[in-house]
Amino acid sequence: MTISTDRPPVAAIVALGLTQIIGYGSLYYSFSILAPDMARDLRWSSEWIFGVLSAALLIGGLAAPLMGTWIDRFGAGRIMTSGSAIAAAALVACAFAPGRIAFVAALIGIEIASNLVQYGAAFALLVQIRPQVAQRSITYLTLIAGFASTIFWPITTALHAHLSWQNVYLIFAALNLVVCLPIHAWLSRGVSQTRRRTGEEAAKRVEPSLPPSVRRPAFILMVTGFALESFVNSALLVHMVPVMSALGLGAMAVVVGTLFGPSQVLSRLINMVFGESLSQVMLAIICAILLPTALVILIATASMPGALVFAVVFGLGSGLNSIVYGTLPLALFGSDGYGRRQGQIMSVRLVVSSMAPFALAFLMGNLGVSWSLSIAALLSTVAVAAFFTIMRLTRPVGGPGTVPNPGEA
């Protein structure tokens, strides 16, 4: 594969889109459907099986910074190729786990493999392929990958109607091994060939838009904003049914789930068509504002129309978040060390996400749903403030992707 440098790498984006659908579908979205039978076979309660998932997510999050460093050192393509092999092996190990300890170890392997093949690594690969157009490439990729839940929830349900969860995992292992691994190897080889042809010195880079003096506080603010958004998103998605039931809207939980996915895809499509005129910081602010807005609408109305609006606004914000998570670090800090930064961001997001469901359950049990949602809205507002502060730190010199003077790295 030869990679041109004048437009987004369409073939790479489409290929990565397929592997992201399989990666998220087989390693993440399928779990909630298969979990009840996993719990039954292991003689665990549903709470315990999801508690094990949270622990695995936590361990995967702690390992993410090291994996980000590997992506910079060895190349995202090689890491994703290895990740596909590890994902297949972990799924097989999970299917054949003889007991609880082996199952937990295999589930940790799945979460570690997820860090190697999902968005963080895929975004880094697009940056390494063609950094100058990586922001557009990431937007296109998230648009394709946004269909992962839409595709894999019904696929997993249909397979599980005829097969045990172990056999479903074996099929998903084969998909990672037969489809994803060759695609990642092909992309890795293409990047290596292009770098040898053009030379490392000739490779284009995206320069930071922030002066060195403010990069550290800006990074802390950015990670804080992402972490708060991840906390609220994860907590609400897990507890959507009890939240709606407590507000007297139990039947709306299914409708919210139905509208959430398409709203995510819609936000990415709108951004792809109209978002090029916006800076990535402004896009982050818009994304952050949508989350507390959705919560305020739900709290204030507690009605069927309000729940419908909440579902759409919440989905729009979540969809944009997947884009901003990849594009904002590139715009602010440049392409050098992008994989390491993605690993650090992913680590915080995963650690926070693993604790969020328990935290919201504790708040709802002690304060009630309305107060708990109000606290979530307040946390979301803090995220908005963090991104506004980053905007104040940004120097509007020459537009995104430039530096005030050539000597600044």
- Of the listed ranges 122-136, 271-285, 290-304, 389-403, the least confidently predicted one is 389-403
CA 274 remoteness from chain centre: 22
pLDDT band at 304 (very low <50, low <70, confident <90, very high): confident
pLDDT cut 90: percent of the chain above it = 46
CA dihedral 135, 141, 147, 149 (to 10 degrees): -80
34: helix, strand or coil: helix
203 pLDDT band (50/70/90 cuts)? Answer: low
Question: Measuring CA to CA, which residue among 226, 238, 240, 367 is closest to residue 294?
Answer: 240
Amino acid identity, residue 321? N
Res 48: pLDDT: 85
Query: Cα Rg for the chain, rounded, in angstroms?
Result: 21
Hey, what are 271's tokens? 């951004």
Q: How do residues 272-289 score in pLDDT, each as one tens digit?
A: 777 777 889 999 999 999
